[in-house]
Every structure is written in C-alpha cells, then in structure tokens.
C-alpha cells in the first residue's frame, strides 16, 4: 500500500542524491549537504531519508537549498538520537542518499517585518527562512535558544544559552515590533510562543516537531487536532503541516 501512495504523490518524488558535505557543527549536531535533481522547495518543507536497516524513512527540515544548473544542493541539520541518525553520521562524501522531497506545506512568506524563533535543532528551517527573507529585503530578526554553549548552532541574531527562549519573546516583540512571527521548536516552546503572540494579535506560523512514520500522511501516526471555522478536526503534521497558523492548534 505504501508503494501505491508513493507512486501517486503530487509534486513529490524519490531522489537518489550524493553527499557533497558532512560536518559536525556543534557538540551533538551535524550538517549534511546533498547534491540531487530536486528542482524546488519552500522554506519550512522537509525531506525524508531512507536509513540503513529501517523500513520507514526519517524526516529532516531543510536548512538551505541552492540550485546549480539542473541540480541542487539541499542542506539538513541533524542531532544524534538513535540508530538512524548514527547511520547518517557514518556516511562519507560521495555516498548515496535515498530521499523523498519536497514534503510538507512550508511557510507562507508575508512581506512584513518578521520575528523568527528557534530552539535547538529547530533552528534549521529558520536559517533557510532567514536567508529567503534577506533575499526579498524583508526585515527580520532571529532569536534561538540552546541548552548549553557547546550545542549552539551559528546563524542567529541573538542566542540564548540555558533557560528557555520563551523568557525573551516579550522583550523581542517590544524591541523588534514584528508584524509576523515564525517559529520551529519543541512543543513546549511552540505552545508558549502561540500564547504570547495571540496576546499581541500577531500572525504566527508554527512549524511542528513531531515523530513521523510514513512522512506522507498515510499512517496517520502524527495526527493533531486543529480548530478551523469553529470546527475541530484531525490533521496530519507531515501532510497538512508541518506549518500551522497560531491559534489553530489544540495543544494537548
């Protein structure tokens, strides 16, 4: 059944890419750059990689994307969490990577001053978004939080070490005066950002971090509840998201 759905995915395709770069960028995070025939992606979308000895693929946010003639370079960031990410860590430049892309809906980019928020590996799609906003000359400011100095991934305008980035959001809203907010982080941070930005009546895009099995909406393993038009319904993070509007998510 899974192969049937893969054959019928709209604008999604299986790619065999080649690793162009892999390097350690913090105490527990790695950067991987993949050369492939992937033609286009949106900020906030992700790829799903086939890992050795795993039936189901593993999802990774896109941290950068650059076209080079008829090919492209797709960058992901990953933390070592288990067998799959240890497998990725073991790969070398020139090794092949089997992945599905582009997956998910991605961010809608408003032509408005933006506050970007990331926590931990949630910085990945924020770096891609920041680069795109800069290309469009849209003013933006990225604040990120990490548990320790050793875990910091570079690229932010402000980095919070220890504690929680939530403690600084009110301050940054006051200082930066954003019109739109974007965030990718663990659930506790997303929920906090949602509560804060609703209080300030700010349009907010939240990219959820969720354990995914199929990554294409078949297994329904990453379902959440949203409220739209005063109606509550189930949505898959992988297919309907991972980006949702603030105020729509029913937090468990």
Any idea which residue has 């019928």 for tokens? 8
Quickly list DSSP for 203-248: EEEEEE----SSSSSSS-TTEEEEEETTEEEEEEHHHH-SEEETTT
What is the predicted pLDDT for the residue at 12? 63
What is the predicted pLDDT for the residue at 4? 44
What is the predicted pLDDT for the residue at 214? 77
Task: In whole angstroms, give the CA distance from residue 239 to residue 192.
Answer: 24
Q: What is the percent of the chain with per-residue pLDDT over 90, rounded to a whole number?
A: 83
What is the predicted pLDDT for the residue at 69? 87
Any idea which residue has 């980095």 for tokens? 159
Residue 177 in tokens = 């005066």
Quickly list DSSP for 175-205: HH--SEEEEEE-HHHHHHHHHHHHHTT-EEE
Which residues lie below 8 Å from residue 7, measured CB to CB, with a gap of 6+? none
Which long-range contacts link 79-86 to residues 24+ away (Cβ below 8 Å)?
Answer: 79/28, 79/29, 79/30, 79/120, 79/121, 80/28, 80/30, 83/51, 83/53, 83/54, 84/49, 84/51, 84/54, 84/58, 85/58
Note the CATH architecture for domain 2-103: Beta Barrel (2.40)
- Give the chain's residues under pLDDT 50: 1-8, 10-11
Closest Cα to residue 119, out of 152, 139, 146, 94?
146
Sorted by where each begins, the domain ranges of the chain are 2-103
């Amino acid at each position: 059944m899974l192969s049937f759905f893969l054959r019928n995915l709209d604008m999604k395709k299986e790619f065999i890419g080649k690793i162009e770069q892999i390097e350690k960028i913090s105490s527990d995070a790695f950067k991987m750059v993949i050369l492939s025939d992937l033609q286009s992606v949106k900020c906030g979308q992700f790829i799903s990689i086939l890992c050795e000895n795993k039936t189901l693929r593993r999802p990774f946010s896109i941290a950068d994307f650059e076209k080079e003639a008829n090919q492209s370079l797709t960058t992901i960031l990953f933390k070592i969490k288990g067998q799959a990410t240890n497998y990725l860590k073991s790969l070398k430049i020139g090794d092949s990577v089997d992945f599905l892309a582009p997956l998910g809906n991605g961010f809608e980019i408003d032509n408005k001053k933006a506050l970007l928020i990331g926590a931990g590996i949630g910085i990945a799609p924020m770096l891609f978004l920041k680069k795109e906003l800069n290309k469009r000359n849209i003013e933006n400011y990225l604040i990120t939080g990490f548990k320790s100095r050793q875990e910091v991934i570079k690229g932010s305008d402000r980095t919070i070490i220890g504690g929680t980035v939530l403690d600084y959001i009110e301050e940054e809203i006051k200082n930066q005066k954003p019109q739109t907010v974007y965030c990718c982080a663990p659930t506790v941070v997303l929920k906090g950002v949602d509560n804060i930005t609703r209080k300030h009546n700010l349009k907010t895009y939240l990219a959820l971090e969720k354990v995914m099995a199929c990554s294409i909406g078949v297994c329904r393993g990453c379902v959440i509840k949203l409220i739209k038009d005063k109606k509550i319904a189930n949505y898959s993070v992988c297919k309907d998201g991972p980006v949702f509007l603030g105020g729509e998510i029913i937090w468990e």
